[in-house]
Amino acid sequence: NAGVTQTPKFRILKIGQSMTLQCTQDMNHNYMYWYRQDPGMGLKLIYYSVGAGITDKGEVPNGYNVSRSTTEDFPLRLELAAPSQTSVYFCASSLLPASGLYEQYFGPGTRLTVT
Amino acid sequence: QQQVKQSPQSLIVQKGGISIINCAYENTAFDYFPWYQQFPGKGPALLIAIRPDVSEKKEGRFTISFNKSAKQFSLHIMDSQPGDSATYFCAASRPGANNLFFGTGTRLTVIP
C-alpha cells in the first residue's frame, strides 16, 4: 500500500512552459486535493475532487487546471508557468470530506521552481 | 484572508520542556480542528484532532485544549523530544465543507 504518490519530486521550469504534476492514490479514496505550500503561508487549496469526473476550485485556482478520469489519479496542470507558481505542491486524499473525522493523507510533495 | 491564525511562527524548546502552539479562528461554523505534523521533505500527517463538544483531548504526550467561547485552540507537547522537531499546522473545517483551512505553521525545534 503506497498511499499517495507524487511525481516528479523536483522540477525547474522556465517562464511560460507547461507541465503536469502527477498524483496517484491506492486507498480507493473518493476525495482528492491539491495544495500549495509557501513559506509562512501554510497550505492553500488549489483544486479538489469528490470523485471521478467531478472537480471544483479551492482558494487559489488561477493558473492551474485539473482532471479526474479515475478514482486513483488526480493530475494538476500548469499551462503557462509564472514565477508566482514557485512553491511546494502537495496532493492529498481522504475517504470522505475533510470536515469529518477522516484523515487527509498527503503525498511527499513536488518542489517546483519557475525561473 | 487567513481563516485560521497560528502563532508563534517558530519555537525553540529544551528537551523535556513543554511546547505550546496557539490557533484562533473567527468562523463559528467550524466544528473540526485537526493538527498536522510535517517533517522536512515530507507531506503533513494527522497528529491529533478535536471536535468542539469537548474542551481537551489527549493522546500520549500531545494534548489539544479547546476554548469555544474564545474561539481558540492550542497544541501542547509535554516532555518535548528532539524527534518532535517538525512544522505543526492547525486546521479547521465546517460541516459540509470539502476542505480544510490551514494555519500558517509553526516550526518547532527541540534542543537536546
Distance from CA of A88 to the nearest CA of B (A): 10
Mean pLDDT by 10 residues, chain A (115 residues): 92 97 96 92 93 94 96 96 96 81 88 96
B93 contacts A98? CB cut-off 8 A: yes
Q: How long, in residues, is chain A?
A: 115
Which residues are registered as beta bridge partners of B15?
Answer: none
List the single residue in A50, A98, A101 with the smallest CB-CB distance to B100. Answer: A98
Give me the DSSP letters along chain B. Answer: --SEEEE-SEEEEETTS-EEEEEEE--TT--BEEEEEE-TTS--EEEEEE-TTSSEEEETTEEEEEETTTTEEEEEESS--GGG-EEEEEEEB-TT-SSPEE---EEEEEE-
B9 CB within 8 Å of a chain A CB: yes
Return the closest-CA partner of residue A36 out of A63, A12, A2.
A63
CB contact under 8 A, A98 and B98: yes
Which pLDDT score, from 0 to 100, does residue A101 have? 63
The reported pLDDT for the residue numbered A103 is: 84
Burial B13-51 (b: 16+ CB within 10 A, else e): beeeeebebbbbbeeeebebbbbbbbeeeebbebbbbbe
The pLDDT score that the predictor gives to residue B19 is 98
- Hey, CA dihedral for A62, A68, A71, A74, is it positive or negative? negative
User: Among candidates B5, B16, B85, B81, which has minimal Cα distance to A42?
Assistant: B5
B106 Cα to chain A: minimum distance (Å): 9
Q: Is A89 at the interface with chain B, CB within 8 A?
A: no
Contact call for residues B52 and B25 (beta carbons, < 8 A): no
- Chain B stretch 29-88, residues whose beta carbon is closer than 8 A to a beta carbon of chain A: 31-32, 34, 41-46, 49, 51
* CA A103-A36-A43 angle, 5° bins: 55
Number of Cβ within 10 Å of residue B62's Cβ equals 18
DSSP E strand boundaries for A53-109: 54-57, 64-66, 76-78, 87-94, 105-106
B51, B100, B104 ranked by CB distance to A40: nearest: B104
Residue A83 at interface with chain B, using a CB cutoff of 8 Å: no
pLDDT band at B21 (very low <50, low <70, confident <90, very high): very high
A43 contacts on B by Cβ (under 8 Å): 44, 89, 102
The DSSP output letter for A26 is: S
Per-residue DSSP letters for A66-81? Answer: E--SSSSB--EEESS-
Chain A, chain B: beta-carbon pairs less than 8 Å apart: 67
**pLDDT at residue B84 in the model:** 98
> Has residue B106 got a pLDDT over 70?
yes
For chain B, give the mean pLDDT: 94
Per-residue pLDDT at A96: 79
% of chain B residues with pLDDT over 90: 86
**pLDDT, tens digit, 9 for 90 and up, residues B28-80:** 999 999 999 999 999 999 999 999 889 999 999 999 999 999 999 999 999 99
Tell me the per-residue pLDDT of A35-65, one tens digit each, with 9 for 90 and over.
Answer: 999 988 889 999 999 999 999 999 999 999 9
pLDDT of residue A99: 62
Q: What's the whole-number average pLDDT of chain A?
A: 93
User: Which DSSP symbol is given to A56?
Assistant: E
- Please tell me the predicted confidence (pLDDT) of residue A7: 96
Instruction: Report strand pairing: B4-7 vs B56-59.
Output: unpaired
Q: What are phi and psi of A83, to 5 degrees?
A: -55, -30
Chain B contact for A23, CB < 8 A?
no
